[in-house]
Structure 1
Amino acid sequence: MTSNPCIFCLDEQRYPQHISCGHSFCAACFRKYLELGRDKRCPLCRCDFRADIQPAPPHDSAEELESLPGTEMDTLVLTLSEQECWFFEQLYREVQLTSRRD
């Protein structure tokens, strides 16, 4: 089995959320990404995607997903390396600059 880590929590993807460019992320992590930002572009390739993303399976509430080990949103940043933190900080700044121009 090949590993397919989520770029947000760095764990194996739980309930993968696929977007139109082909990338996928943990459903809970991706939902948090959408809640926190106005940018509707893939965080990996920057391609636009539709806002009406397929939800996680209906039998799994957000609370159930976030209660799984490795999906706690308030500890997400603690699992990132210094280089990854720098990358996401730069990405965040780029997004902020782009949204100010729009």
Structure 2
Amino acid sequence: MASNEGVRRGTRIPCEISITLTSLDPAHLFSEPCLIILVNPLGCAARFGRPLEVGSAVRLDGLPAGTNVTARVVNCISMGEWEKLWLLGLALDESANVWGIQSPPEDWTL
């Protein structure tokens, strides 16, 4: 039986969506600007001005559809010693096209 581990589900689409990323952890509260640069129905990649712990719960506010969604940090990579930016991998708690993509690829069907 073949394993689906490591198989990406949903074509990734490059974009530039400005949102506000808000912490859901009462011990580490913040609400700061964030730029989403790659999306699919399961999550996104985003540029952010600080590192976040993998597993952190966050809310994405100000999405194109006028909705807010929750997600978990699944990856956090420094974009370089001098950049002061981090690339976050965010997994949506509920898969959906929350990005305002009008004609999503066929593999976005959930």
Shorter-chain TM-score bucket reads: under 0.3
Structure with greater helix percent? 1
TM-score where L is the length of structure 2: 0.24
Structure with greater strand percent? 2
TM-score where L is the length of structure 1: 0.25
